[in-house]
Structure 1
Amino acid sequence: MKRHYTFILLFVGLISLTTAQNQKITLEEIWGGAFRTEGMDVLHSMKNGKQYTVLNFDRTAKSSSIDKYNYQTLEKVETIVSSSNLDGIDNFSSYTFSKDESKLILATNVEPIFRRSRLGKYYVYDIASKELKLISEDKIQEPTFSPDASKVAYVFKNNIYIKDLKNNTTVQVTTDGEKNKIINGVTDWVYEEEFSLVRAFDWNKTGTHLTFIRFDESKVPEFSMDIYGETLYPTEQVFKYPKAGEDNSEVSLFTYELGSKKTQKVDLGEAYYIPRIQWTNNEDVLSVQVMNRHQNDIKLYFHNLKKGTNVVLHETDKAYIDITDNLTFLNDNSFIWTSEKDGFNHIYHYSKEGKLLNQVTKGPWEVTNYYGYDEKTNRVFYQSVENGSINRDVYAVKLNGKDKERLSSEEGTNNATFSADFSYYINSFSSASMPNRYTLNDSKNGKEIKEIVNNDALLKKVSSYEISPKEFTTININGNELNMWMIKPKDFDPNKEYPLFMYQYSGPGSQQVSNRWMGANDYWYQMLAEKGYVIACVDGRGTGFKGADFKKVTYKELGKYEVEDQIAAAKKLGELPYIDANRIGIWGWSYGGFMSTNSILKGNDVFSMAIAVAPVTSWRFYDTVYTERYMQTPQENASGYDENSPLSYPELLKGDYLLIHGSGDDNVHVQNTMRMAEALIQANKQFDWAIYPDNNHGIYGGNTRLQLYTKMTNFIDEHLGDKAGDVQGSEKIKK
């Protein structure tokens, strides 16, 4: 391990010894919003490129408004619509413009279904006439304007409908939709969760055709959860959830012609997954991305309504291919595509026939976001980690790969939101020493025009607390330089020994060691540092932004190399003179809970305690798309599933273990925790656990987070802090 830190980020305003720094962070403050950052609501850039709109909410009047601002002055130009002037709408929670920006869809009474899906009452608002129309008396999903804003397509009870706004008539496109059986136009649970896709229909450029995916989930096994609620008898939620190795929905693709009202099936051969559909700039040509079950073979089809279907791009990978939303069609129907095929994620330009014209970006670094292409200047805008894998910067480059320019200037995490004509962008910046700051920038050179939002007040407030710098470095583990951060107590004394508490997530392509401002957990770590703990986080093999080989080394072996790295890192840190190797703990949530559980079992000579929140305990219990992407099926890779499952060796537990789950978790089912508890019980191992009734994967709402973090803090104090004494360490040999 490097004994010097490559750089230490110190908080502005914290350097002066005269500054009052005696306030201590409390859990009540963290979860009460005391350290909330000021930000910007999601904005819509107007077509003229000179103005943008923002959804504002008046908490006093409890009303919503869509306000238009000028990019150059940042001053409000007008209020397009306010709910205070609309009959029958108290407020709306989101809005969508039609392509010509003449109309709006306003969302009201929205209720969540799963992570991304929503039901709601939606209205169309005509900006010129100020007329408001309810699309449907029922709660519907994914209302979407036709290109000329004369119609709206939507889904109700798994069927697609099209409403004609001129004559106020509605046509039902599909009729076979049925809960837990047939879905048209929106996705099933696993597509929504793992392909980040809800709306599974799209208009062509002239609005003459609508394409949609049909999901037949008849053969997908059902999963049920008891909902305890507040009534005398619990209810049951039943939905289709394909676990690894089980049947997925059978998917098929159709086009619907509005004029003839005819529906035709698109021939895609033996398409197993259809994760993306998108009409090109040619009104007759539909693009379709198709993957095999292993997700290591992707085909981009062009379906021509008049000429049939052909493959224009075909990629394979020895491990897996990630789906993105980066496919962009230029005016000549050539297209932008991102790929890891050279070992790093980069941008490629293909002709409309699928011929590679140019690799736009290249180098031993990753493109992390694609923003778009400006036809006028022939420049591609993107975000990358070229300036270090823990940083993010905004770049521009010509389509031919020349004249690359770094637009962002501050080291940390930069992200851009461009105007429609790419003349301006709003840059959001933060680092470990600077909270979120939003500025208006010139796209020509990245020059800051003016500041929009800052968090100077929060920075000043934080300076009165006992905040310790987050120290970034790397640690050499198993032949790899792994990114790491560490937080030490404010009054750190290198001649003393401190307990070490490690955090990680470790899922494929993830990142926890990044140069950005603090989230809620970071304040918790600061609170623990105040108590006398050293906190550390190491991104091991399998995490992201260091190339495909580094990320995909865990293929077919989830929980093997990542756990080896956490154990080795803990051992190495335990050798530091200021770390008490008898008191090393680890925690994580979801994939991180899987990791912390494995770590205290396989690393029982290193870790004396662990906390696992909502952990996967066997990948056999998790969904097909995610699990099989990294593991193949259990039928093909049984050893990979079982040899790295903590259910296979509960007898290895020696330290103190806290297991936590929400009973209403539709993602990582509480079944995982129940099976882990039973395995430990049968191994006669003592452990602590908590079940949060009806809580989903996030475990939040009311005082839930406060109670949860109080429980975890108390557990850490009891089993890792001074209260633990030498009882646990007496069985261990000081490293």
Structure 2
Amino acid sequence: MEYPELAARTRRFSYGSPRAVSVAADGSRVLFLRSSGPLDPVDRLFAFDVATGRERLIAEPAELLAGEAGDLPPEERALRERRRLSAGGIGSYATDPVARVATFTLGGQLFRADLAAGTVAEVSTAGPVIDPRPDPTGTKIAYVTGGALRVASTGTSSGAGPSDTLIAGEDGITWGLAEFIAAEEFGRFRGYWWAPDGQSLLAARVDESRVNRWTLHDPADPASNPTVVNYPYAGSPNAEVTLHLLDLDGGWVDVHWDREIYPYLVSVSWSDVGGPLITVLRRLQQHGLVLAVDPRTGETQVHAELADPRWVEPIPGTPAYLSDGRVLIGGELAHDGYDARCLFADGTLLTPPNLYVRRVCGRIGVPNAQHSGELLVEASEGEPSEQHLYRVTAHAGAPIVDAHRISTGSGWFTGFGGGETLVIGALGLDHSGAQWTVYRRDDEIGQLTNLAASPPYAPRPVLERVTDRRLPTGVLYPRNHVAGRRLPVLVDIYGGPGHQEVLSVRSRWLERQWWADAGFAVAVVDNRGTPGVAPSFEKVVHRRMADVVLGDQVDALRALADKHPDLDLSRVAIRGWSFGGWLSALAVLRRPDVYHAAVVGAPVTDWELYDTAYTERYLGLPSDGSDVYAHHSVLELAAEQPAGPDDARPMLLIHGLVDDNVVAAHTLRLSAALLASGRPHAMIPLTGATHMAAGGLSERLLRLELDFLRTSLG
């Protein structure tokens, strides 16, 4: 069995690998999800007891459902799509701070796990459950059903029986869930937060009555009803999002800020150190505020301002209170020659400018009023293809910058911490999958068992930086390549903001090695606009993505050919998905002298059809009177008559017909424009497929793509 079939059966060798790792705040246990083996798509909940160093199975979906699994509620399917989750079984879970209780759903049913006893019980609810979360005491569970926020109580030691109470609900209004823009573009996947004492909730109210409604329908199933989605496309109205403090006994306090000027609610945190902290942004995201909320009155006070003439890029894990009351904020250092993403505590710099901080992922140590313990931070230092873990001293009076790297070797490291327990996940080019190691006070306790299949080969990409912009690149050759044999080139790209492809991670190169073994030299380029290097490297694409991104791709390809003489630039194909699909189409339409064929997957062909927050962040508003949107549209390029046969490069278009992120209209309009101008192309509509093209679809497409490129390149 070859790579495409193996990858489809094993979900790209991820079945059986631990994911969704979390650590109890007191460090007593580690929780994670994992299936039973390399061919099993059903994830179960496990606990690793730090005291004993042993794993325990907590929740087995087959036993809990007894073969009666129901369909996922539409809201749960939408949430999984936003989070790019394609696993079966338990998709996600939530715990109280010290992880005594975990809650999760299966087929819309609510389950509560007692993690100390290892028992799981179903909790009766008013309807199919979305995003259940236990309160800090572990006795109550909030959840969303039918757009309403409810709280279920499992009973107390004083003898009170179970109950289920409506906290907030209105017809046509959603309570307690993140709206499309928050989940898709800002990484905020939740819409309510428990107070530290468990007596109230901070909840988002989402009114989508102003948002334009689009209809999605799969023509392959004409008997099915069309799905209506609220889609805020560029320049159109967004959902109206408000915040409210809700007492369990019916009390209600509105949170006040200028929502007309700052409509985007980007992040929310609430700890026992202070009240809620929220981050709000203007529509064009060039200015934002970190606001402290008074939970008694709902009034807000500006704690910090965030500003950038291009766009503000908050750091995940911030803002948050430190135990001494200072507020941790992520921001950029762009003066005195610095070009860095850093952490600050009440304006004091915590991380050195040589670090590119990516995320605050935990707290280590036992904090108190005088000592905030240490922050666990993911960051890059000089080499964007690698990410490492650092301990950052956060207590007042510490040296201005004190960051100590704790991950060793090369690769991509992620971490989670609580109390004196640290879990490190290691990815690299020298091993398959993630290796999860648990430490207690710097002593290794054990590892989380990984049951994933091993890939059939070990790719060895050549990673290097090219051009005067030092663009990160990677090149893969066939495993049987003989130097001096000229090879057609496949440029495999994404190229968009917020995402890197050139990583020191084996899984990123497995499919590319299959392409190389099929006879290509595979080239990968992270152009300017991608993260990991410096803020200026990312933000130079503001309002000119097409020119910068495509220019960098062309320059990097030529620089690689100078270093790798076996790359035949007379035969260059390009393939990509989503932003990469747009870039593939742009490449063959604007630079047919460089690129000779393209696989165009789920592309954004007209940016006025894409969502508000993403598009306006980089291109501004369509109504500003400029030609930025027209300049970035591939529809106008496709409609132009080719000057000659060498300008009409063939394209293979691929799109899921029920994609609610990049709707299929993008590809259908591109096909119509290509047809009208006589440009050669083929199209594969994916019936029933979303933007993820999950369930092995993307792997099964590989051979069709290969046949197309071989034919197109002659």
Q: TM-score range by the shorter chain?
A: 0.7 to 0.9
Unmatched 5+ residue regions in structure 2?
Answer: 70-88, 156-160
Counterpart check, 1:550 vs 2:537: yes
Amino-acid identity (%) = 22
Amino acid at match of 2:123: L
Quote the Cα distance in structure 1 between the aligned partners of 2:322 and 2:694: 43
In the alignment, what sits opposite 2:406?
407
SS at the partner of 1:561?
A: helix
Aligned to 1:610, the other structure's residue is in SS state strand
Asked if the contact 2:530/2:538 (under 8 Å) is kept, the reply is yes
CA positional deviation for 1:403: 4.5
CA offset digits 1:637-676 (Å, max 9, x no partner) = 6411111211122235422211111111100011111111
The match for 2:29 among 33, 37, 51 is 51
SS of the residue corresponding to residue 329 of structure 2 reads: strand
Contact 1:364 1:547 in 2 (8 A): no
1:108 paired with 2:106, answer yes
CA distance in 1, matches of 2:118, 2:466: 63
Match of 1:144 among 130, 133, 137: 133
Please say if 1:666 is aligned against 2:645: no
Match of 1:392 in 2: 387
Tell me, in whole angstroms, the C-alpha distance in 2 between the residues paired with 1:81 and 1:32: 24
Partners of 1:385 and 1:545 within 8 A in 2 = yes
Given candidates 576, 585, 595, the residue that maps to 1:607 is 595
Q: Give the distance between the partners of 2:21 and 2:651, measured in 1 at CA.
A: 45
Q: Look up the match of 2:524.
A: 537
**Aligned residue in 1 for 2:177:** 186
Task: Compute the displacement of 1:221 (Å).
Answer: 0.7
Deviations 1:514-553 (A, max 9, x none): 111124xx33322232232111111111111111111000
Q: Distance in 2 between matches of 1:565 and 1:448?
A: 44
Alignment match, 1:112: none
Contact 1:439 1:449 in 2 (8 A): no
Residues 265-280 of structure 1 correspond to what in structure 2 (within 5 A)?
A: 265-270=254-259, 271-280=262-271
1:32 to 9, 12, 33: 9
Change (3 A) 1:374 1:633: same
Aligned pair in 2 of structure 1 residues 480, 410: CA closer, same or farther (>3 Å)?
A: same
Instruction: Confirm or deny: 8 A CA contact 1:100 1:148 kept in the other structure.
Output: no
Displacement of 1:189: 2.0
> Using a 3 Å threshold, how does the CA distance of structure 1 residues 104 and 280 change in structure 2: closer, same or farther?
closer
Distance in 2 between residues matched to 1:235 and 1:65, nearest whole Å: 33
Equivalent-residue separation in structure 1 for 2:126 and 2:542 (angstroms): 48
Instruction: Kindly indicate whether residue 648 of structure 2 is the aligned counterpart of residue 687 of structure 1.
Output: no
Q: What does residue 466 of structure 2 align with?
A: 475
Counterpart CA distance in 1 for 2:430 and 2:403 is 28
Corresponding residue of 2:78: none
Match for 1:328 among 314, 320, 338?
Answer: 320
Q: Which deviations, in whole Å up to 9, do the C-alpha atoms of 1:240-291 show, x marking residues without a partner? A: 10100001112222222233x13222221233111222224257x3222211
Contact 2:278 2:293 in 1 (8 A): yes
In the TM superposition, what are the counterparts of 1:288-299 in structure 2 within 5 Å?
288-299=278-289
Distance 1:89 1:172, change over 3 A: farther
Q: Secondary structure at the match of 2:527?
A: coil
Deviations 1:111-139 (A, max 9, x none): xxxxxxxxx11133556696835231510
Structure 1 residue corresponding to 2:53, chosen from 37, 52, 74: 74
Residue in 2 aligned with 1:383? Answer: 378
The answer to whether residue 223 in structure 2 is matched with residue 233 in structure 1 is: yes
Larger Rg: 1
Structure 2 distance, partners of 1:252, 1:35, is 40
Q: Which runs of 5+ in 1 are unaligned?
A: 1-23, 110-119, 351-355, 725-735
Paired position in structure 2 for 1:177? 171
Shift of residue 50, structure 1, vs aligned partner: 3.9
Cα distance in 1 between the residues matched to 2:180 and 2:42:
33
Structure 1 residue 627, shift from structure 2 partner: 0.8
Amino acid at match of 2:9: G
In structure 2, the CA distance between the partners of 1:402 and 1:140, relative to structure 1 (3 Å rule), is same
Change (3 A) 1:698 1:637: farther
CA–CA distance in structure 1, aligned partners of residues 296 and 288 of structure 2? 24
Aligned: 1:515 with 2:514 = no
Aligned length, in residue pairs: 662
AA in 2 matched with 1:136: T
Contact 2:459 2:510 in 1 (8 A): no
Q: For 1:314-713, list aligned pairs within 5 A.
A: 314-323=305-314, 324-342=316-334, 343-350=339-346, 356=347, 358-376=348-366, 378-386=373-381, 388-399=383-394, 400=398, 401-418=400-417, 420-421=418-419, 423-440=420-437, 442=439, 452-453=448-449, 458=454, 461-462=456-457, 469-476=460-467, 479-519=468-508, 522-574=509-561, 577-636=565-624, 638-650=626-638, 651=640, 652=642, 653-701=647-695, 704-713=697-706
Equivalent AA in structure 2 for residue 380 of structure 1:
L
What amino acid sits opposite 2:282 in the alignment? N
Distance 1:396 1:43 in 2: 19
Give the whole-Å Cα distance in 1 for the aligned partners of 2:33 and 2:353: 40
1:43 and 1:52 in contact (8 A); partners too: yes
Instruction: Write the letter of the residue equivalent to 1:42.
Output: A
CA distance in 2, matches of 1:73, 1:254: 43
Q: Give 2:304's aligned residue.
A: 313
Is 1:216–1:249's contact at 8 Å kept on the other side of the alignment?
yes
For the Cα contact (< 8 Å) 1:365–1:385, is it kept in 2? yes
**Separation in structure 2 between the aligned mates of residue 125 and residue 348 of structure 1, nearest angstrom:** 38
Contact 2:111 2:120 in 1 (8 A): no
Q: Sort the Cα spacing of 1:71 and 1:539 in 2 relative to 1 into closer, same or farther, 3 A.
A: same
Q: Return the alpha-carbon distance in structure 1 between the equivalents of residues 11 and 64 of structure 2.
A: 34
CA drift of 1:711 comes to 1.0
- Most deviating of 403-412 and 325-334: 325-334
Q: Secondary structure at the match of 2:552?
A: helix
C-alpha distance in 2 between matches for 1:196 and 1:556: 23
Q: TM-score, normalised by structure 2?
A: 0.85
Q: TM-score normalised to the size of structure 1?
A: 0.83
Deviation readout 1:381-421 (Å, 9 max, x if unpaired): 21211151111111113223454322111111122232x21
Q: Offset at 1:455? A: 8.6
**Superposition map of 1:215-230 within 5 A:** 215-228=206-219, 230=221
Q: 1:637 to 1:584 in 2, by over 3 A?
A: farther
Judged with a 3 Å threshold, the aligned counterparts in structure 2 of structure 1 residues 664 and 63 are, in CA distance, closer, same or farther, namely closer
Query: Distance between the aligned counterparts of 1:442 and 1:594, measured in 2?
Result: 44
What is the DSSP-based 3-state SS (H/G/I as helix, E as strand, rest coil) of the residue aligned with 1:556?
A: coil
Q: Structure 1: which amino acid aligns with 2:383?
A: G
Flag the 1:188–1:556 CA change in 2: closer, same or farther, 3 A.
Answer: same
